[in-house]
């Protein structure tokens, strides 16, 4: 990997560890490659403490989100007699208790109509209550959206939310609308897939100041590594593709994404 500064705006550290990636070694390797920052993303309302305990000793560049995706609404046959593990009320209680651990943002949260996680009404309620929680605590959010861009857009525009649209999958015109509302649009490894024409067009039409790059590791390895366990070490292929679409160097793409990441999360020294 070339020496460059880069960020990974979305990965799941515990998920990588569960698939055999040795996190101590991973963050050590990243440090030597110019890793300038990353977001470790929550998948359950009650996982923040364990994620911080596991990853903070390994890297001072990683920030942590707190949130509950729509998958929390799924009936869990193994763990809880066919009911979701927590009710929405209980999820919100746990999230509020966990704010004492100072997450940098609320996420990932959102709608996923590809899978039947609870009802769509429940998905929307869980999203909206977490958008309110983020607003009350002046935190940005990380939005998950799968096959639900219309509803996502209408809910986001009705809330005073800001933050990241993760693993962007909408159309170019929706990307422009999200940019107009002030969102950062984060592109994952699927940007490198052969059938990514619409994603390429979305990235092409956005301002550089709205673009982030992520892995979503352990999922969504870029084309050259497809089917393997993904990790932030594999992110450069996605940076290269984004840089080629924007006709800039990969180092410049790294600088831009790093600057956007730091600005969103209040880490930059510039105003």
Interface residues with Zn ion (CB under 5 A) are 216
By three-state DSSP, how is residue 14 classified? helix
Nearest-angstrom CA–CA distance, 8 and 186: 10
Comparing CB distances to Zn ion, the nearer of 107 and 243 is: 107
Residue 164's closest CA among 188, 143, 191, 187? 143
Tell me the closest approach of the beta carbon of residue 177 to Zn ion, in angstroms: 22
- Closest to 27 in 3D by CA, of 56, 65, 70: 56
Q: Which is nearer to Zn ion, 215 or 260 (CB)?
A: 215
Longest dimension (CA), the chain: 54
Nearer to Zn ion, 109 or 257 (CB): 109
CB of 265 to Zn ion, least distance (A): 17
E strand or H helix at 258: helix 250-264
CB of 16 to Zn ion, least distance (A): 11
CB of 101 to Zn ion, least distance (A): 19
Mark residue 110 as left, alpha or beta (left: phi above 0; alpha: psi -120 to 50; beta: remaining). left
State the minimum distance, in angstroms, from the CB of residue 216 to Zn ion.
5
Q: Quick one: 46 or 216, whose CB is closer to Zn ion?
A: 216
- Residue 8 or 216 having the CB closest to Zn ion: 216
Q: Is 197 exposed, middle or buried (0-12, 13-18, 19+ CB in 10 A)?
A: exposed
Q: Point out which residues pair with 145 in neighbouring strands.
A: 111
The span from the CA of 116 to the CA of 118, in Å, is 6
Nearer to Zn ion, 4 or 44 (CB): 44
**Shortest distance in whole angstroms from residue 215 CB to Zn ion:** 9
The encoded tokens of residue 71 equal 């998958």
Residue 176: CB minimum distance to Zn ion, A: 24
Given a contact cutoff of 8 angstroms between Cβ atoms, the answer to whether 116 and 80 are in contact is: no
Q: What is the distance between the alpha carbons of residues 63 and 41, in angstroms, rounded to a whole number?
A: 9
For Zn ion, the closer of residues 47 and 216 by Cβ is 216
């Amino acid at each position: 990997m070339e020496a460059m500064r880069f960020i990974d705006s979305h990965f799941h550290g515990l998920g990588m560890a569960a698939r055999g990636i040795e996190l101590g070694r991973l963050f050590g390797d990243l440090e030597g490659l110019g890793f300038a920052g990353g977001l470790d993303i929550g998948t359950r309302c009650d996982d923040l403490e364990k994620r911080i305990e596991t990853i903070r000793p390994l890297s001072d560049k990683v920030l942590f989100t707190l949130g509950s995706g729509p998958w929390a609404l799924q009936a869990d046959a193994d763990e809880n007699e066919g009911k979701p593990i927590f009710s929405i009320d209980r999820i919100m209680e746990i999230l509020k208790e966990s704010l004492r651990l100072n997450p940098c943002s609320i996420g990932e949260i959102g709608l996923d109509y590809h899978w039947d996680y609870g009802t769509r009404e429940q998905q929307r309620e869980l999203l909206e209550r977490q958008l309110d929680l983020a607003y009350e605590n002046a935190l940005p959010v990380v939005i998950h959206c799968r096959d639900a861009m219309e509803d996502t857009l209408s809910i986001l525009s009705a809330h005073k939310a800001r933050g990241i649209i993760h693993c962007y999958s909408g159309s170019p015109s929706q990307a422009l609308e999200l940019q107009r509302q002030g969102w950062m649009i984060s592109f994952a490894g699927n940007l490198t897939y052969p059938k990514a024409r619409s994603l390429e067009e979305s990235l092409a039409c956005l301002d550089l100041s709205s673009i982030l790059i992520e892995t979503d590791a352990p999922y969504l390895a870029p084309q050259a590594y497809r089917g393997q366990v993904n990790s932030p070490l594999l992110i450069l292929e996605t940076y290269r593709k984004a840089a080629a679409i924007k006709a800039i160097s990969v180092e410049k793409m790294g600088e831009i994404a790093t600057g956007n990441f730091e600005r969103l999360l209040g880490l930059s020294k510039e105003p």
